[in-house]
Amino acid sequence: MSDGLIAVIGATGAVGLEVLQILAGRGIDSSRVVAIASERSVGKSVPMGDQSLAIRPLAEGCFANVGTAIFGTDAAISREWCPKAVEAGAVVVDNSSAFRMDPAVPLIVPEVNGDVLRHAHLQSRGPKGLLIANPNCSTIILLMALTPLRDAFGVEHIVLSTYQAVSGAGIAAMDELRAQAQSVLDGVPAAPVVFKEPCAFNVFSHDSAMNVTTGLNGEEQKIIDETRKIWQDSAVRVSPTCVRVPVLRAHTQAITARLKSPATLEEVRRVLAAAPGVRIVDDRLQNSFPTPLKAAGRDEILIGRTRCDPGEPFDDSGRTRSFSLLICGDQLRKGAALNAVQIADELGCLQLARR
């Protein structure tokens, strides 16, 4: 359990703003929260529930009296500042990719590997703080749906295609999508700034850095590496294609998963329906399935289109080893801010700050 203040670093960004709203929703007293951002945001304020917090600068000494620090900053900022917050004794949850693959840093989705968190917490209570990494949004959303299947049947191979909202690239990207859409409707060609390709009425290969040798972009490599780390399974095969779509804030994934043990569709559905943090939206009669609009603003990952893979035969018992799903999750909530707050909450960091 951590006393001291709760700092949200990158508080003016899409993830930081969402963290503040989630803290407010969990009954955290705003007088116990410090909103931190870069020098150029000083003088601004940000909302937290019905309160408003003045931005304080990210600067030496800013973590004094901070017991918990949730970073919604980019990897370069996190790489520099998370260690300082740890050094100041804080429990740090970092949303960026900076420390995710560091073997000394736990990478956590509470519903998936919360046990690691409790172990890490016990080990760490020396004079120094603790650093926990929040996985990539696509990894979190994927593993929320597939971990129950792994636990029940084993998962051997995952092929997935993403339909990713622009929110993953921040508020500027969301503004760009709206502005470009208006331009196109007005008959004026859109001028891309945040993305290299036009985002309105278009679809493009994910904008993360491309590895010219493997041909994988950064998002795809993160899904592979983080899945293996979180599942502690270096053998799981992952074949991702990451694509941006003109959606504001929830990610969609089309998944085909090959299990280690065969199952019936009913068995798969029963396991998914009982999983934590998910909601089944799977009405074949009404053709009603998950969409990013249905997922936006929700905490749960929506799961639907659950079906036997028509490319895989059935065995004699009517079971098959390959199933397909369509899932959606709010990239800013469970894909980022909510997962980070859940980690802090599970570590007991929020208890003293509750009203």
In angstroms, the CA 281 to CA 288 distance is: 7
Q: Which amino acid is at 337?
A: A
Tokens of 69: 């620090």
Selecting among 62, 82, 137, 308, the annotated active-site residue is 137
Q: Which is nearer to its own copies, 85 or 281 (CB)?
A: 281
- Tokens 């429990």 belong to 91
Residues 199-258 that bind its own copies (CB under 8 A): 201-205, 207, 209-212, 214-217, 220, 224, 237-241, 243, 245-248, 252, 254, 256
Residues 264-303 that bind its own copies (CB under 8 A): 265, 284-285, 287-289, 291-293
Q: Which is nearer to its own copies, 26 or 157 (CB)?
A: 157
Q: Would you list the DSSP string of 177-218?
A: HHHHHHHHHTTPPP--SSSSS--TT--EE--SPB-TTT--BH
CA neighbor of 9 nearest in space, from 58, 61, 66, 65: 58
Q: Which of 308, 327, 337, 341 binds its own copies (CB under 8 A)?
A: 308
Tokens of 181: 């859409």
Q: Which amino acid is at 175?
A: D
Q: How many residues form the binding site for its own copies (CB under 8 A)?
A: 63
* Chain-centre distance for alpha carbon 191: 29
157 classed as catalytic: no
Closest contact distance (angstroms) between CB of 340 and its own copies is: 25
137 classed as catalytic: yes
CA neighbor of 299 nearest in space, from 80, 72, 86, 21: 21
Strands (E), 206-348: 237-241, 243-244, 250-263, 278-280, 301-308, 320-330
Q: Which of 309, 319, 346, 352 binds its own copies (CB under 8 A)?
A: 309
Residues 138-177 that bind its own copies (CB under 8 A): 157-159, 161, 163, 177
Catalytic residues: 137, 251
The residues that touch its own copies, with contacts defined as CB under 8 A, are 157-159, 161, 163, 177-178, 181-182, 185, 196-198, 201-205, 207, 209-212, 214-217, 220, 224, 237-241, 243, 245-248, 252, 254, 256, 265, 284-285, 287-289, 291-293, 304-312, 322, 324, 326
